[in-house]
Amino acid sequence: MTDKPRVATTSLCGCFGCHMSLLDIDERILQLVQLVRFDRTPLTDIKTIGECDLGLIEGGVANAENVEVLREFRRHCKVLVAVGACAVNGGIPAMRNQFTLKECLEESYVGGVGVHNPGIPNDPEIPLLLNQVHPIHEVVKVDYFLPGCPPSADTLWTFLTELLAGQPIAFPYTQIHYD
Amino acid sequence: MSHSFTLDGQETAFVPGQTIMEAAQAAGVYIPHLCHNPDYAPHGSCRVCLVGVGRRQVSACTTRVMEGMEVDNASESVQANRRAVLQMLFAEGNHICPACERSGNCQLQAVAYYTGMLAPHYPPFFPRRPVDASHPDFIIDFGRCILCELCVRASRDHDGKRVFAISGRGLASHLVIDSPSGLLGDSCFAAADRAAHVCPTGAILPKHKGFERPIGERLYDREPISKVGDLRAHEDEVD
């Protein structure tokens, strides 16, 4: 069954809520695995991405690793989708854009309430933070946007089934929300 | 003698002097809008009520109906321009809906749903605008202000207070408050003012009641604003 469309997913600067919402399609996931083959995704724990038909991106772009992963997904996916508020416009993490990165780090690791052993982490394995959090369409071309925090299971199901069936994608009013 | 114009191909009556917005509302036709509120003089600043008249697009809230005028309120090109206007409003402010108490009761959000906006499209500005929480009953998040001047008009024309004004020009335009410190808490603004209840976004919010009604059961969660109507008709439920 190698001719099934291949789907990859990842979470950048997100909370995995959108992935939880995908799992919230419940038993329809059995139908979904009949329709697609999952490539790199936290659901399969495959770590490298192959050539895919569809890439679902949760989360915005907040650090250097997010940029790298996002570009890799763009290179390998025919259709790339921003899933959820953070991928669409930065979401909750983008609220740190009201402050400088220095202020954020000092609040978290130096002067904040309840900080022990103050000091900003500088282990080379930790991806460097960007000055601001960005929606993914500021970094790569995005083919489709699914707003919501998270998009509901029904929203994701409507999108996936209509896209896979080659239908124009149309949502009922209750399936498109920004919160 | 009765007067008529054509609205989306339908012959529609109007009273001379009415704007396109007023005549459409009288006929039960919804034209999306944010800065329009029938209690105050038309402002024409948000541009969301764009309609096609001949080869031009004009704001329905400031254009008078003329005999025989042909108005396009429903074509995809009109709707696409409204969507682009909304995307610019979203991109130039800080509209993080999941973190906003007004979400679900927000006219900006509801109009964006109505036009089918999926994302802000443009690179966001992420302007740095501090929140003013100095007032005991209300909070102002300037990042959510769309410069519609409804609070300015309500405070000036109804409350007789002139608490608010827009200062600066172009991209630097911003809402200012008439008090020695510039803070709302030091102004004569009061919870009973009309200006406290006309904001179409989450910029001016009452304190202490943000999540009384859960997300999912709010004004625009289940039905579009074209059916539900403006916040103005539902103030008891929202504030």
Decide the pairing of beta strands B50-53 and B3-7: unpaired
Q: Mean pLDDT over residues B183-191, rounded?
A: 97
Residue B127 amino acid letter: P
Partner-chain residue, chosen from A82, A94, A173, that has the shortest CB–CB distance to B224: A173
- Spell out, as residue ranges, where chain A has pLDDT lower than 50: 1
pLDDT of residue B239: 66
Closest Cα of chain A to B26: distance in Å? Answer: 25
**Please, what are the domains in chain B?**
3-74 (3.10.20.740), 82-238 (3.30.70.20)
pLDDT of residue B238: 76
Q: How far is CA B148 from CA B40, B67, B173, in A?
A: 12, 30, 11
Q: Among residues of chain A, what percentage have pLDDT more than 90? A: 98
- A177 with B221: Cβ contact below 8 A: yes
Q: B107 by DSSP, 3-state: which?
A: helix
Q: What tokens were used for A126?
A: 């930790």
Partner-chain residue, chosen from A89, A92, A176, that has the shortest CB–CB distance to B120: A89
Partner-chain residue, chosen from A92, A138, A179, that has the shortest CB–CB distance to B123: A138
pLDDT of residue A3: 86
ipTM (interface pTM): 0.94
Mean pLDDT of chain B: 96
pLDDT of residue B237: 78
- Residue B235: pLDDT over 90: no
Assign domain A6-114+129-169 to its CATH architecture. Answer: 3-Layer(aba) Sandwich (3.40)
pLDDT of residue B91: 97
Q: Among residues of chain B, what percentage have pLDDT more than 90? A: 95
Tell me the pLDDT tens digit for each residue of A35-54. Answer: 999 999 999 999 999 999 99
Q: How confident is the model at residue B180 (pLDDT cuts 50, 70, 90)?
A: very high
- Residue B63: pLDDT over 70: yes
Dihedral-angle region of residue A82 (phi above 0 means left; psi in -120 to 50 means alpha; beta otherwise):
beta
- Residue B205: pLDDT over 60: yes
Tell me the pLDDT tens digit for each residue of B102-156. Answer: 999 999 999 999 999 999 999 999 999 999 999 999 999 999 999 999 999 999 9
Backbone angles phi, psi at B114, to 5 degrees: -60, -40
Of all residues in chain A, the one with the smallest CA distance to B226 is: A173
Q: How confident is the model at residue B210 (pLDDT cuts 50, 70, 90)?
A: confident
Of all residues in chain B, the one with the smallest CA distance to A91 is: B96
Tell me the pLDDT tens digit for each residue of A116-147. Answer: 999 999 999 999 999 999 999 999 999 999 99
- B124 with A85: Cβ contact below 8 A: no
pLDDT of residue B209: 87
Tell me which chain A residues have a C-beta less than 8 angstroms from the C-beta of B213.
Answer: none
Tell me which chain A residues have a C-beta less than 8 angstroms from the C-beta of B214.
Answer: none
Of all residues in chain A, the one with the smallest CA distance to B114 is: A173
Q: B9 by DSSP, 3-state: which?
A: coil
Is B54 an interface residue toward A (CB < 8 Å)?
Answer: no
Tell me which chain A residues have a C-beta less than 8 angstroms from the C-beta of B94.
Answer: 95, 97-98
Tell me which chain A residues have a C-beta less than 8 angstroms from the C-beta of B221.
Answer: 174, 177
- Residue B185: pLDDT over 90: yes
Q: How far is CA A33 from CA A4, A82, A159, B46, B235, in A?
A: 9, 21, 15, 46, 47
B79-101 in b/e burial notation, b at 16+ Cβ within 10 A? bebbbbbbbbbbbbbbbbbbbbb
- B119 with A147: Cβ contact below 8 A: yes
Is B15 an interface residue toward A (CB < 8 Å)?
Answer: no
Q: Among residues of chain B, what percentage have pLDDT more than 70? A: 99
- Residue B72: pLDDT over 80: yes
Tell me which chain A residues have a C-beta less than 8 angstroms from the C-beta of B112.
Answer: 178
Is B105 an interface residue toward A (CB < 8 Å)?
Answer: no
pLDDT of residue B236: 79
For residues B202 and B107, the answer to whether their CB atoms sit within 8 Å is no
Chain A contacts to B (CB-CB under 8 A): 82, 85, 88-92, 94-95, 97-98, 132, 134-135, 137-138, 144-147, 149, 173-174, 176-179
